C-alpha cells in the first residue's frame, strides 16, 4: 500500500520531528532491546593462509619416555629404546649413546652425571681421567667393573646417555625427560645398593643438591640404600677431599656386608 503523503510533505514532517528532538524512528511494533537473542551469533573464524606453516604440536617428552620403557624387559631392550628415543636434542650432537659398563649382576650400581669427551668417543661411562680414578677407588676395596666375581663387581651408568655440548651441566628438563629410562635401568639391574656420583646424580635421584652435605649419609631411592659420593672429577680438582671419599668407600663395604 502506497503512502498517502507525497515526498515533500513527508520530508517536511520528518524535519519537524527532528526539530522537536526525535532521534530515532519508531517501528510498527515495539522492540525489547533487553531480550536475549534466540541464537547467539557465531564467531567469525578466519582460516589460516593456504601457505601458512603447520603449527608445531607440543609433546610431553616425559610421557613419551615412559611410553618408550613401558614394555622393556631387559637391558638390550632398554638400550634399543634409548637409541630410538628422538625427543632429546643432546642425541643430535653426540657421537655415541653411552649406555653402561661393568657387570649387570653386580651388587653395586654407580650412577654418574653425563658422558664427557672420552666417554662420548668410546661409548662407555667413566673412561677418562675421572674413570681411572673411580677404578682405583673401588679397587682399594677389592671391587671393580672387570672383577671375575659378581659379588665384588660394579655396574656403571649415567643420568644422561648423551654428552651435553661443551660438557655443560644437564638442564632440569633433560634430567626429567630421561629419568624414566634411569628408573627402568635400576629395576632391571636390581642392585643391592646405589652410589650417586656428584650433584647431578643426587639431583636426578634424590631431588637435592649439595654434595658436601649429602655425601657420607645413607639415603633411600628406588627402594634401595643410596650413598652420595664426591664425583671423581671433583676429587681430581680437590685431592684433599679423598679422605672423605675413602670413608664413604669403607661405609659402602660395611653396608654390603650388613646386607649380605
Mean pLDDT, the chain, integer: 90
Using the predicted structure, report yes or no on whether residue 37 has a pLDDT greater than 70: no
Greater confidence, 78 or 15?
78
User: Which of left, alpha, beta for 207 (phi over 0: left; psi -120 to 50: alpha)?
Assistant: left
User: Region 48-52: what's the mean pLDDT?
Assistant: 70
Greater confidence, 58 or 165?
165
Greater confidence, 258 or 26?
258
Using the predicted structure, report yes or no on whether residue 1 has a pLDDT greater than 50: no
Q: Rounded to the nearest 5 degrees, what angle is found at the Cα of 129, between the Cα atoms of 128 and 132? A: 90
For residue 66, give the 3-state DSSP assignment: helix
User: Region 8-28: what's the mean pLDDT?
Assistant: 74
- pLDDT, tens digit, 9 for 90 and up, residues 77-129: 999 999 999 999 999 999 999 999 999 999 999 999 999 999 999 999 999 99
Residues 6+ apart with CB under 8 A from 253: 141
User: Region 251-255: what's the mean pLDDT?
Assistant: 97
CA-to-CA separations, 18 to 3, 14, 23, 25, 212, in angstroms, rounded: 20, 6, 7, 10, 89
Burial class (CB in 10 A: 0-12, 13-18, 19+), 100: buried
User: Which of left, alpha, beta for 43 (phi over 0: left; psi -120 to 50: alpha)?
Assistant: beta
Integer Cα distance of 145 and 128 in angstroms: 15
Using the predicted structure, report yes or no on whether residue 171 has a pLDDT greater than 70: yes
Look at residue 6 in the predicted model and tell me its pLDDT.
76
- pLDDT, tens digit, 9 for 90 and up, residues 181-191: 999 999 999 99
Q: Lowest mean pLDDT of 16-30, 91-105, 113-127, 198-212, name the range.
A: 16-30
Integer Cα distance of 107 and 246 in angstroms: 19
The answer to whether 145 and 102 have CB atoms below 8 angstroms apart is: yes
DSSP 114-134: ---HHHHHHTSSS-SHHHHHH
Greater confidence, 47 or 58?
58
The model carries a pTM of 0.78
- pLDDT interval class at 8 (50, 70, 90): confident
CATH number of 61-259: 3.40.470.10
Integer Cα distance of 200 and 208 in angstroms: 9
**C-alpha dihedral (138, 140, 144, 149), degrees to nearest 10:** -130
For residue 84, give the C-alpha cell.
630410538
The closest of 201, 204, 195 to 172, measured between CA atoms, is 204
- pLDDT, tens digit, 9 for 90 and up, residues 56-89: 678 899 999 999 999 999 999 999 999 999 999 9
The answer to whether 206 and 122 have CB atoms below 8 angstroms apart is: no
State percent of the chain over pLDDT 90.
75
For β-strands 219-221 and 224-229, DSSP reports them as antiparallel
- pLDDT, tens digit, 9 for 90 and up, residues 136-162: 999 999 999 999 899 999 999 999 999
The answer to whether 227 and 192 have CB atoms below 8 angstroms apart is: no
Amino acid at each position: 500500500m502506497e503512502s498517502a503523503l507525497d515526498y515533500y510533505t513527508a520530508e517536511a514532517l520528518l524535519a519537524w520531528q527532528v526539530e522537536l528532538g526525535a532521534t530515532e524512528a519508531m517501528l510498527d511494533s515495539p522492540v525489547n532491546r533487553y531480550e536475549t537473542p534466540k541464537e547467539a551469533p557465531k564467531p567469525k573464524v578466519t582460516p589460516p593462509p593456504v601457505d601458512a606453516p603447520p603449527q608445531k604440536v607440543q609433546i610431553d617428552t616425559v610421557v613419551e619416555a615412559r611410553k618408550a620403557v613401558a614394555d622393556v624387559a631387559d637391558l638390550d631392550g632398554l638400550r634399543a629404546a634409548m637409541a630410538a628415543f628422538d625427543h632429546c636434542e643432546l642425541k643430535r650432537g653426540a657421537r655415541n649413546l653411552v649406555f653402561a659398563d661393568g657387570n649387570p649382576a653386580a651388587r653395586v650400581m654407580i650412577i654418574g652425571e653425563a658422558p664427557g669427551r672420552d666417554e662420548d668417543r668410546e661409548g662407555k661411562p667413566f673412561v677418562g681421567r675421572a674413570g681411572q680414578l673411580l677404578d682405583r677407588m673401588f679397587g682399594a676395596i677389592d671391587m671393580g667393573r672387570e672383577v671375575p666375581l659378581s659379588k665384588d663387581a660394579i655396574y656403571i651408568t649415567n643420568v644422561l646417555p648423551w654428552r651435553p655440548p661443551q660438557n655443560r651441566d644437564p638442564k632440569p628438563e633433560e634430567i626429567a625427560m630421561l629419568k624414566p629410562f634411569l628408573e627402568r635401568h635400576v629395576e632391571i639391574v636390581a642392585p643391592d645398593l646405589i652410589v650417586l656420583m656428584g650433584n647431578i646424580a643426587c639431583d636426578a635421584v634424590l631431588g637435592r643438591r649439595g654434595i658436601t652435605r649429602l655425601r657420607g649419609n645413607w639415603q633411600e631411592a628406588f627402594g634401595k640404600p643410596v650413598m652420595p659420593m664426591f664425583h671423581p672429577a671433583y676429587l681430581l680438582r680437590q685431592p684433599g677431599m679423598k679422605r672423605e671419599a675413602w670413608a664413604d668407600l669403607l661405609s659402602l663395604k660395611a653396608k654390603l656386608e650388613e646386607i649380605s
